[in-house]
Structure 1
Amino acid sequence: MVQELIDNSADEALAGHATRIEVTVLSDGSVVVEDNGRGIPVGIPPGETRPAAELAFTTLHAGGKFDKTDKSSAYRFSGGLHGVGVAVTNALSNRLLVEIHTRDPQGGGYGHYRLSFVDSKLQEALTRVENSQARRHGTRVQVWPDPRYFDSARVNIRELTHLLRAKAILLPGLQVILNLPEQEALVWQYDSGLAEYLGEMLAEAEPITPVFAGEMYQNDDSNGFAQGEGASWALCWSAQGNPRPETYVNLIPTLDGGTHESGFRAGVFEAVRSFMEHHSLVPAKLKLVQDDVTGKMALVLSGRILDPQFQGQTKDKLTSREAYKLMVQTIRDPLDLWLNSHPEAGRAIVEQAIQSAQLRSRAAQKIERKKGSGLATLPGKLTDCESEDIQRNELFLVEGDSAGGSAKAARDKEYQALLPLRGKVLNTWEVDADLIFKNQEVHNMAVALGIEPHGVAADPEQVLAGLRYGKIMILSDADVDGSHIQVLILTLFLRHFPALLRRDHVFVVKPPLYRVDATWRGKARKIYCEAESERDVAIDRLRAEGVKDSAISVQRFKGLGEMNPDQLWETAMCPDTRSLVPLTMSLSDQAALHERFSLLMSKQSAGGRREWMERDGWTADLDI
């Protein structure tokens, strides 16, 4: 309601006929809007029987803003053509009083006129009260909102303050005053307009470019647009945050943007892309989109459109199709020139856009853990245990499906669970936490464990709250491939699940590489050995006991899959006979471990690995 009155006063200022707008909120809930424009016409229009002022407040589509062919019209770039305007203000009020100071229709001096309504109906017809002071002109409207039509009949002071301040910003030199009950008057008058306002908006931000302010309007009708159409703007880029743009059309705030904002952003994107191509800054294999460039752009845009079309009477969003092309043409060339005149600012914009594109690319690849009905959907290959005692439960991460089959038959199903791993696990040392679930084996492990990826600084109590197994057993073949799988799993845990190592949940099972069988004096003996040296010691001991060589046989296991369930239970799964290596990490170990794993697992450390192997490779006890 009140904005319709303010917009009419602003139209007078836009046309150059008003220099002051004053709004007063009174304690009785009424609002007064006053300007020093030409005053609402008081004469009777051709073909009508009532004065223009009365028609404006009682009849739809009775405004004087429809003739766009007259290039000298005061309303050529007015704020919208729905035509209902102040008629709606009157319709939603229980009282409305209009006072006009304007030139008499028949010529001569200036007169003071009054017009009033009660419950939207005419109470006092337009009446000439007295002669005005010398050359005094303007309009004063006081309106009492009808509480029947609103949740609250009180004006929103915050929105009103923002609206009035914006009028002062968009119309340099215009004085705007807001009077509030029992408060000192607020007065705005900006001489430098949009640039000054944007500077205030960014007072707490971190701009990475200077403010670029300018304006461009069509000189004539030869470019497909009407003379005078165009825009003024102020923009810059900030380091953080997503500043909300402020856009206007013919001084009307478009809170939801619209085609003028979309076109302006498209023009900015084209100009920045042109700058990148000119300076060979286009990244390889990385496609920039518009939001990468304009996502952190702070913008104040004031468009001037000949015949604006809005979505809804509140005019929050511009829908004029031609406004898109107009704004692209308006900003593209001026910004292109500015970027090439400020190459450092241009490069800062490009760097920010590339970072945004990289983050967007990673986000697009993000793989979420699969969930259903609020519970993690356990992987199909997981053979779970029956017990719910987390401290006792054990999860065996077993190399290969064949070994998994033997382990499944060998396990104690009450507290031992199995998850066979197919092939080599992904090297996750340099993989973001958002992307590790792209690997199915890593996904299966995380879901089975019941925990999310976390960093070394995370609180173990918190991140391990959902842990389903107190012991995590890495069970792989006793060969080079098995060792590699162990390292890959440990890399995953150290990088993305370090709390497991800090709380002593991880173990490596040491399966035997050899089995030595001996028959002596009617008794059969079997000895499992983890390495050749242990095998040789076992054979020497048997010989010392008198066992003949013909009674000694040695079996070398090629892998866990060759073991039958009984053998696997005895050597790897029975708590009384298995051999485990606990893998623990203290806070003091983290730095050294990360340095060593960076050397071993980072793609960027190939040179360092070669140097390390040439220097210390002779110390390794390799089973090749």
Structure 2
Amino acid sequence: MTEEQKKNNQGYSAGNIQVLEGLEAVRKRPSMYIGDTGIRGLHHLVYEVVDNSIDEALAGYCDVISVIMNVDNSITVKDNGRGIPIDFHEKEGRSALEVVMTVLHAGGKFDKDTYKVSGGLHGVGVSCVNALSEQLIATVYRDGKIWQQEYNIGKPQYPVKEVGETSETGTQVQFRPDTTIFEDNVYNYDTLASRMRELAFLNKGIRITLTDMRNFDDEGNPLSEEFYSEGGLFEFVQFLDASREPLIGSPIYMEGEKSGIPVEVALIYNTSFSENIHAYVNNINTHEGGTHLQGFRRGLTATLKKYAEDSGMLSKLKFDIAGDDFREGLTAVISVKVAEPQFEGQTKTKLGNREVNAPVSQAVSEMLTHYLEENPNDARTIVNKVILAAQARHAARKAREMVQRKNVLTGSGLPGKLSDCSDRNPENCEVYLVEGDSAGGTAKQGRDRNFQAILPLRGKILNVEKAMHHKIFDNEEIKNIYTALGVRVGTEEDSKALDTSKLRYHKVIIMCDADVDGSHIETLILTFFFRHMRELIEGGNIYIATPPLYLVKKGGAMKYAWNDKQRDQFVEELKGNGKESSVGIQRYKGLGEMNANQLWDTTMNPEFRTLRRVTIDNAVEADRIFSMLMGDDVPPRRAFIEKNAKYAKIDV
């Protein structure tokens, strides 16, 4: 051992080992418990508290939940369940309520007699919320009395005390997130509404209200919505497919228990070319799938294939039908309740329980068999759709092979329009997808050639929401995106699977003009990535550049503004001492209006630019929005425009 190593060892002893007591660990590493400290983590706090109320509902003790967004940006969640126990906990030497609120892995979720199934599996939910809140007040309605305890940053301010009498039962939790922890501490109504709606569909018969005390309608009432579903998943798929043209009369639905596992499934076919399957375990959206999704796919494919073969409808088809042919134009929701689910990864996004596969497959097979026998016309319509999908897949494979073979024959195979970077390490490299040749030329001049590549896109790319799969590979701009990125499509198991192992750039940056056309092109590109390269969004590879909207200048002084508030602020600053003087304002409507240096300084220089990473907070809502904005059905889009027209700005 060298002298330097001995010296370093002397500085590392038992005194350097930190033991974090109570909820300190949560405050030290909040992202380990709630995902992140951004806007997603902020909303996750609400979900954790609401999940406790949902668990009471699953146990049969609660049917009303209210969520209130208060003026001070605190949140109040109240249910009519049994109420958290407040009696003395022998082992901990204090009230059970205080234990639940201040001790990690404490709660009723570990007692099978209390909760048979639960979404909050680790017992860290409400205690984590407490640890990350400036203030939390827990109020319990139980045994004819009202009990209360207040906490600041997770620490009790007084013992649990009786504060009144009541005939109600239930729990109310009001908390205000800690502004020193969260980067953004303002709650978004639409984000919470999407999750509450989802929970209402997944748990039929439960009434959930969301009220925003910060915003009021024209009559002076707080913005409020009630979410309630009697039909459960049957109504859920109807909601998801509201902006698509149905292929069959109504959703196919089943609910039952197989091998002790409650299974609920609803599906419907539409005329689109995308597959939209959403799988849940104990109300958790497992967007990476798992054994329940495998069981669904197996049951669907086997049953439909047997029906198609027995009916003789496949006799003229010259090639085999693949599994994903049966899922084109399919919208489905699968929900299972599992007593002890095993999730792969901390984020609970993939179910690993092997015993779930067969019951789901069996349930789907029985449901479909009955439906196909009783609805022969719909059955033939579905099989014809499957045959059409198989033919399109066969054509798409040929088109894809032509693209990929061309890449091999032409050496690098990169598009001629691509101005590549010199660095060959994908982790260091980024590519800008730039609207138009003019802006592309400016970007090429302004970039850092070492790590920044530029791919100009001419005009508006194909709207993939309305296009058959093989048509996508006929589109020149989309072909250029595939070849420039170096990704490949299609495996033996899944003809639409994306292979990202040879991705050439770890940052793919969409850069469009800050006008209506630019927004439309940006939406078209995002639709393409969501439908055909979702793996890149989920991998955190897709970004949107944010060029400034204004240049404010007076003499030699110049400032860039990204919004109207900044513009007005800079105008006042440059006026100086309140005296009127000429301050010029230039509105950038297109990237081409900037010179190369300006584009680099404001939008491309990593030291000063702002990139917005594209993420999927709610895959269900994203699917619905893309379908509504880019699909064939006009009425839902018109309703959306009418509702949001007040937020639009028109340049004159």
TM-score bin, normalised by smaller chain: 0.5 to 0.7
Does residue 79 (structure 1) correspond to residue 119 (structure 2)? The answer is: yes
Question: Secondary structure of the equivalent of 2:110?
Answer: coil
- Counterparts of 1:399-410 in structure 2, within 5 Å, are none
Aligned residue in 2 for 1:166: 198
Aligned 8 A contact 1:12 1:74 in 2: no
Give the Å deviation of 1:244: 3.1
CA 1:263/1:17 → structure 2, altered by over 3 Å: closer, same or farther?
Answer: same
Map Cα deviations across residues 2-38 of structure 1 (whole Å, 9 max, x no partner).
1111111011112221121000111211111111111
Aligned 8 A contact 1:232 1:303 in 2: yes
Aligned residue in 1 for 2:142: 102
Does residue 152 (structure 1) correspond to residue 196 (structure 2)? The answer is: no
Which whole-Å CA distance do the structure 1 matches of 2:174 and 2:471 have between them? Answer: 62
- Counterparts of 1:386-425 in structure 2, within 5 Å, are none
Aligned residue in 2 for 1:123: 157
CA 1:355/1:129 → structure 2, altered by over 3 Å: closer, same or farther?
Answer: same
Question: Secondary structure of the equivalent of 1:247?
Answer: strand
Unaligned runs of 5+ in 2: 1-44, 217-222, 417-469, 475-652
Question: Secondary structure of the equivalent of 2:109?
Answer: coil
Question: Secondary structure of the equivalent of 1:367?
Answer: helix
Q: Which TM-score applies when normalising by structure 1? A: 0.55
Aligned 8 A contact 1:230 1:326 in 2: no
Which whole-Å CA distance do the structure 1 matches of 2:376 and 2:247 have between them? Answer: 13
Larger radius of gyration: 1
Aligned residue in 2 for 1:442: none
Map Cα deviations across residues 532-560 of structure 1 (whole Å, 9 max, x no partner).
xxxxxxxxxxxxxxxxxxxxxxxxxxxxx
Aligned residue in 1 for 2:333: 300
Look up the equivalent residue of 2:127 and give its one-letter code: A
CA 1:40/1:362 → structure 2, altered by over 3 Å: closer, same or farther?
Answer: same
Look up the equivalent residue of 2:149 and give its one-letter code: L
Aligned 8 A contact 1:274 1:336 in 2: no
Question: Secondary structure of the equivalent of 2:325?
Answer: helix
Aligned residue in 2 for 1:286: 319
CA 1:192/1:334 → structure 2, altered by over 3 Å: closer, same or farther?
Answer: same
Map Cα deviations across residues 459-504 of structure 1 (whole Å, 9 max, x no partner).
xxxxxxxxxxxxxxxxxxxxxxxxxxxxxxxxxxxxxxxxxxxxxx
Question: Secondary structure of the equivalent of 2:173?
Answer: strand
Does residue 21 (structure 1) correspond to residue 61 (structure 2)? The answer is: no
Give the Å deviation of 1:298: 0.7
Question: Secondary structure of the equivalent of 1:287?
Answer: coil
Look up the equivalent residue of 1:310 and give its one-letter code: F
Which whole-Å CA distance do the structure 2 matches of 1:434 and 1:326 have between them? Answer: 37
Look up the equivalent residue of 1:189 and give its one-letter code: Y
Which whole-Å CA distance do the structure 1 matches of 2:333 and 2:340 have between them? Answer: 21
Which whole-Å CA distance do the structure 2 matches of 1:162 and 1:375 have between them? Answer: 41
Give the Å deviation of 1:373: 4.6
Question: Secondary structure of the equivalent of 1:62?
Answer: coil
Aligned 8 A contact 2:253 2:367 in 1: no
- Counterparts of 1:254-403 in structure 2, within 5 Å, are 254-283=286-315, 284-365=317-398, 366-368=401-403, 369=406, 370-373=409-412
Look up the equivalent residue of 1:121 and give its one-letter code: K
Look up the equivalent residue of 2:226 and give its one-letter code: V
Which whole-Å CA distance do the structure 2 matches of 1:351 and 1:142 have between them? Answer: 54
Aligned residue in 1 for 2:279: 247
Look up the equivalent residue of 1:18 and give its one-letter code: C
Look up the equivalent residue of 2:104 and give its one-letter code: L
Aligned pairs, number:
362
Aligned 8 A contact 2:211 2:225 in 1: yes
Which whole-Å CA distance do the structure 2 matches of 1:94 and 1:5 have between them? Answer: 16
Map Cα deviations across residues 242-275 of structure 1 (whole Å, 9 max, x no partner).
2533332222333443332232122111111121
Give the Å deviation of 1:172: 2.2
Q: Percent identity?
A: 34
Does residue 49 (structure 1) correspond to residue 49 (structure 2)? The answer is: no
Aligned 8 A contact 1:38 1:137 in 2: yes
Aligned 8 A contact 1:7 1:252 in 2: no
Does residue 182 (structure 1) correspond to residue 215 (structure 2)? The answer is: yes
Which whole-Å CA distance do the structure 2 matches of 1:3 and 1:98 have between them? Answer: 16
Question: Secondary structure of the equivalent of 1:98?
Answer: strand
CA 1:305/1:340 → structure 2, altered by over 3 Å: closer, same or farther?
Answer: same
Give the Å deviation of 1:435: 11
User: RMSD of aligned C-alpha atoms?
Assistant: 2.5
Give the Å deviation of 1:434: 10
Aligned residue in 2 for 1:418: none
Look up the equivalent residue of 1:358 and give its one-letter code: Q
Q: Which TM-score applies when normalising by structure 2? A: 0.52
Look up the equivalent residue of 1:94 and give its one-letter code: E
Map Cα deviations across residues 598-623 of structure 1 (whole Å, 9 max, x no partner).
xxxxxxxxxxxxxxxxxxxxxxxxxx
Which whole-Å CA distance do the structure 1 matches of 2:88 and 2:264 have between them? Answer: 37
Aligned residue in 2 for 1:207: 246
Which whole-Å CA distance do the structure 2 matches of 1:360 and 1:433 have between them? Answer: 10
Which whole-Å CA distance do the structure 1 matches of 2:473 and 2:52 have between them? Answer: 56
2:236 pairs with 179, 197, 204, which one? Answer: 197
